[in-house]
Amino acid sequence: MTKAAKVYDYDTERIPLVGNHTNRFAAATKDQIFYNVIPESIENPITKKVTIFLNKRGAFTTHTTLVAGAGRALYYWTRTSKTYTVIANKLYAGTSTIAILTLTTSTGTCWFTEVSGGTDYLILSDGTDMWTIDTSDNVVDITDVDMPAGPTTPAALDGYIFIIKSGTDEIWNADLNVATSWGATAFLSVEMYPDNLVALTRQVNYVVAFGTFSVEFFYDNAATPSPLRRAETVALKVGLAARDSLAQTDRRILWVGQSQSGEPSIWMFNSLTPEKVSNEFVDKILQNEGSNLSTAKGSFIQHKGHTLYILNLNARSLVYDLDEKIWTDWSTNSASVHAVLPYNFFVQGANNAILALHNTDGKIYTLVPGTYTDTAAAILVEFSTGKIDFGNTHQKRLFNLSLLADVESSGTVTVDWSDDDYQTFSTSRTLDLTTRPYTKACGSFRRRAFRFKHSTNAPFRAEAMELDYSDGIH
């Protein structure tokens, strides 16, 4: 059989746009990177072929305006259908700008936990004091002298409130169903590993104790003076490098972890099973934070059908998609430059709305899936490829570049490229998303990286780029 002749004097390659960070350094100036997109995989049920898209995130728009100041905590209580917000030294309930509590502290993270049963109430702690809040927004200061000083990260289980005694390995508990009453010996020491405790959280029917270099699980054994008993078979020699990076949703916990023999990384408990979810590229970013890593803030959200872990660092905002198992970056657009998201606390509010507390302006924002301009500026989508050479360093000529993206009623995307390892980029070209987004006569290269940007007030979803090129000999 005679081989059919080529119709065109070039080859065509379709290159998917999705991937993980491949940064050689911690900075996002070189190699593959993704800003303000959500990866979405779609599997054909017959062929089992998977197609992956980059889908633009929703926008942050104003939801509630309170009083400007340092944002310290945000909680949505379904029992009252209200948000509870700590800004500076004030606690606000719902949309009212009249505070229901004045704290003695005005900076630093605060923590909420919820107790349900015979009497429903919230617990609020600021690391110095602790209060109960009932469904009528009555606030009671817990003043029992037996409660340890400096209560942090309260956790509730079976009618008990548990806290850490600062600087120790001790987990203290209030009396059963009485958060304001504490016993002088109502504590248990963590003993599996010699370690001071950093934070508590709840996972299924366990209290999880995070130390500096270890994690242990405890269950309610209905004993005294502490009701807790250690789950001997569930422990991990990876601790908590950043207390406020700890976030919990359904049966999963994520945190910035550290061991005594390695660099920081991101870990997850899926039910009771631990796994490392960061790769070596994300680990470089964490290591580059240095002492700033201890201030990292982590939260879970559900957005556009995806469960996302948002980690605010000093230098950037990392986002881990638990469904696709891919890391991306989110940012706010600051004069066409990516800046760290100005929100450290996220909750799911009424009607499944995602709410975010701004760090300074006293406003709660909502993340809207079908909106594409943040309150401050248009969302800046940006993604760069790795260096493409089709398996050799021959001189190539690129005749056409096509972006496989959804056709929209408005909007453009720009593309430029670097042939010298991201040191310089070509003049940007504009592709029209209302028709076929493509460009011609793209010059010669040996190895080329492409960069795309989209910042118009319109949806954006892209699958791949298609390159028509010829391959030379030298």
CA distance 427 to 425: 7
CA distance 251 to 448: 43
Six token digits for residue 346: 């996220």
| Helix, strand, coil share of the chain (percent; to 5) | 5, 50, 45
With residue 281 as reference, give the H or E element that holds it: helix 280-288
pLDDT at 47: 84
Contact 236, 274 (CB under 8 A): yes
pLDDT at 1: 46
Q: Which of 124, 76, 118 is nearest to 103 (CA)?
A: 124
Does the pTM surpass 0.75? The reply is yes
Per-residue pLDDT of the chain (474 residues; tens, 9 = 90+): 444 455 568 899 999 998 888 888 877 788 999 999 999 998 888 888 888 999 999 999 999 999 999 999 999 999 999 999 999 999 999 999 999 999 999 999 999 999 987 789 999 999 999 999 999 999 999 999 999 998 999 999 999 999 999 889 999 999 999 999 999 999 999 877 778 999 999 998 999 999 999 999 999 998 889 999 999 888 899 999 999 999 998 889 999 999 988 889 999 999 899 999 999 999 999 999 999 999 999 999 999 999 999 999 999 999 999 999 999 999 999 999 999 999 999 999 999 999 999 999 999 999 999 999 998 799 999 999 999 999 999 999 999 999 999 999 889 999 999 999 999 999 999 999 999 999 999 999 999 999 999 999 999 999 999 999 998 765
Please state the separation of Cα 253 from the chain's center in Å: 12
pLDDT at 473: 64
Count the residues in the chain. 474
Contact 103, 89 (CB under 8 A): yes
